[in-house]
Amino acid sequence: MPRTTIHDIAKALNTSAATVSRALNDHPSISEATKVMVRVTAKQLNYQQNRMASSLRSGKSMVIGVIIPSAEISFFGSVIHGIEEVAKARGYNVLLFQSNERYQQEVQGIQTLLQSNVDGIIASIAKETTHYSHFLEAKRRNTPLILFDRAIEDLGVSTVVIDDYKGAYMATEHLVEQGYRRIAHIAGPSHIKIFHERLRGYVDALSANKLVVDEDLIVYGKVSIDSGRERMNQLLQLDLMPDAVFAVEDFTALGALQAIKETEFHQPGQIGLVGFANEAFSAYITPSLTTVDQQTNIMGREAAQLLLNAITGNANTETLPQKIVLDPKLVVRDSSRPPDQ
């Protein structure tokens, strides 16, 4: 059984497909009476628009593409949620593509989304990615692109990020205020900007508080639980051990916490700890983890908003790339309690 088309409706009403199309799209030049008739008949015949046909003709697909490293990371799940809310409210659907942190898959993602004629793309860059020309392909095709969180600026595209520098600064200063003095940092790969920014925030917060920046207290990890554990163990071997640790993100902090728990030191009390991301688990572990909230939902909503503006916005007005920087929020919990006397 073939599905109902606008021609079927037209036939039933002794009118033309064009009128039906206009009526359904609420075109101003169609009389109220006709619109009502069309809508009623459409419902009767159980008409469902064929979006492919509409898209092919109009050049707009009402779909936005989203590329994320993995839906399994709660951070991205939460951002997607935000994107989807805004998109849906404005009649757009979300086509999802995961890069699995792979450069090749990211490139393929852009291609596939462009082939699917998405009206715009929102992406966060894979860990593996170090060059970015594939994103320019979207520009060449005149498809608006927004990057979030793991963003790169020199592409000349709009971005939504949080102020990683500030978040790290706040986190570090918080440890200082709590009374810690030898504060270590488990950093992430410096080629990824957000991680580098966090390192900078850490360093500057120490300096601003007249604490020496000790190179031994900065170790580089791979942003994972295991890596956090390893790096923490390395820090615990030092002759002059740290009395607190600022970890580049929560999974790293979790690994560090596990490492500390395996020693005779207590956490908190002897070793203060702060993470970054406010991952779901951070509130539930013991001790609960002090961390920096990244405003994931807002990030998704803002990214979607920016994109939709770019899509619907006047193409004539040469809009410069915008940069939205969200304010991180320090979430103080137990892991950064002041040190014991």
Partner DNA sequence: GTGAAAGCGCTAACAT
Partner DNA sequence: ATGTTAGCGCTTTCAC
| Whether residue 287 has a cis bond before it, omega within 30° of 0 | yes
Rounded CA-CA distance 156/159 in Å is 9
Give me the residues that bind DNA (CB under 7 A), please.
2-3, 5-7, 14-19, 21-22, 24-25, 29-31, 33-34, 47, 49-50, 53-54, 56-58
Rounded CA-CA distance 321/74 in Å is 28
Backbone angles phi, psi at 237, to 5 degrees: -80, -20
Pick the piece of the chain touching a second copy (CB under 8 A) from 80-88, 193-201, 236-244, 328-336. Answer: 80-88
Task: By CB under 8 A, tell whether 49 contacts a second copy.
Answer: yes
Task: By CB under 8 A, tell whether 74 contacts a second copy.
Answer: yes
Task: By CB under 8 A, tell whether 237 contacts a second copy.
Answer: no
212 binds, among DNA, a second copy, none (CB under 5 to 8 A by kind): none
Task: By CB under 8 A, tell whether 285 contacts a second copy.
Answer: yes
Site for a second copy in 252-281 (CB under 8 A): 254, 280-281
Identify the residue among 73, 155, 238, 331 touching a second copy (CB under 8 A).
73
81 binds, among DNA, a second copy, none (CB under 5 to 8 A by kind): a second copy
Rounded CA-CA distance 319/303 in Å is 16
Q: How far is the CB of 314 from DNA (least distance, A)?
A: 16
Site for a second copy in 84-143 (CB under 8 A): 84, 88, 93-98, 111-112, 114-117, 141
Pick the piece of the chain touching a second copy (CB under 8 A) from 22-30, 69-77, 262-270, 308-316. Answer: 69-77
Q: How is residue 107 written in tokens?
A: 């490139």
Residue whose CB is less far from a second copy, 34 or 100 = 100
Strand, coil or helix: 304: helix
Q: What would the DSSP string read from start to end of 144-189?
A: -EEEESS--STT--EEEEE-HHHHHHHHHHHHHHHT--SEEEEE--
Question: Measuring CA to CA, how many Å separate 144 from each of 17, 96, 214, 316?
Answer: 33, 16, 44, 14
Rounded CA-CA distance 38/24 in Å is 7
Closest of 180, 148, 179, 178 to residue 164, by C-alpha: 148
> What is the contact surface with a second copy in residues (CB under 8 A)?
3, 48-53, 55-56, 61, 63, 70-74, 76-78, 80-81, 84, 88, 93-98, 111-112, 114-117, 141, 254, 280-281, 284-286
